[in-house]
Amino acid sequence: MNTGTHATGTRLVRIASAQDLLASPGGDLPHLLTPAELAQANARENPAEYMAGHLAAKGAATDALAQLLPPSTGIDPQELETLDASSGAPVCTVHGRLAAVLAAHGIEPPRISITNEAGAALATAVAWAPAVGGEGA
């Protein structure tokens, strides 16, 4: 049996807020979303809706991971990526220093879920860390 700790995060982002980010040239968007996330958003009929969902997912994933990692661990939004798989399901992957930190702690990227309703996107993330001392400890 796997023993360990689960952590969750939930974020809500208004689609209008994502629209404001899109309309702000040179703003924070390139720092918040990876080039692949931006490309998926721009390929959509409604890029702001996609971006709101994925910004919410990144926030939720960051919140979940922050509960499992040492307090001094910073999470760079460029190292945590949320993309839609070919099935349409959102998938979270990690890169760079964050990938190394998660591997060192035995933590896999969080599982994420995104929904849009009434002008807002809601995302939930669940992350799992093994028990200190290994399995069965």
Would you list the domain boundaries of the chain?
A: 4-130
Residues 33-82 pLDDT 10s: 999 999 999 999 999 999 999 999 999 999 999 999 988 888 999 999 99
Model confidence, pTM? 0.89
Both tokens of 39, joined, read: 């490309």
- CATH code reported for the domain at 4-130: 3.90.470.20
Displacement of CA 68 from its chain's centroid (Å): 15
Provide the pLDDT for residue 16: 96
Burial tier of 56 (Cβ tally within 10 Å: 0-12, 13-18, 19+): buried
* pLDDT tens, residue by residue, 84-98: 999 989 999 999 999
* pLDDT number for residue 79: 96
Q: Measured between alpha carbons, how far is 6 from 105 in angstroms, rounded to an integer?
A: 13
Over the chain, what is the mean pLDDT? 90
pLDDT band at 1 (very low <50, low <70, confident <90, very high): very low
pLDDT for position 2: 62
What band does 4 get if pLDDT is binned at 50, 70 and 90?
A: confident
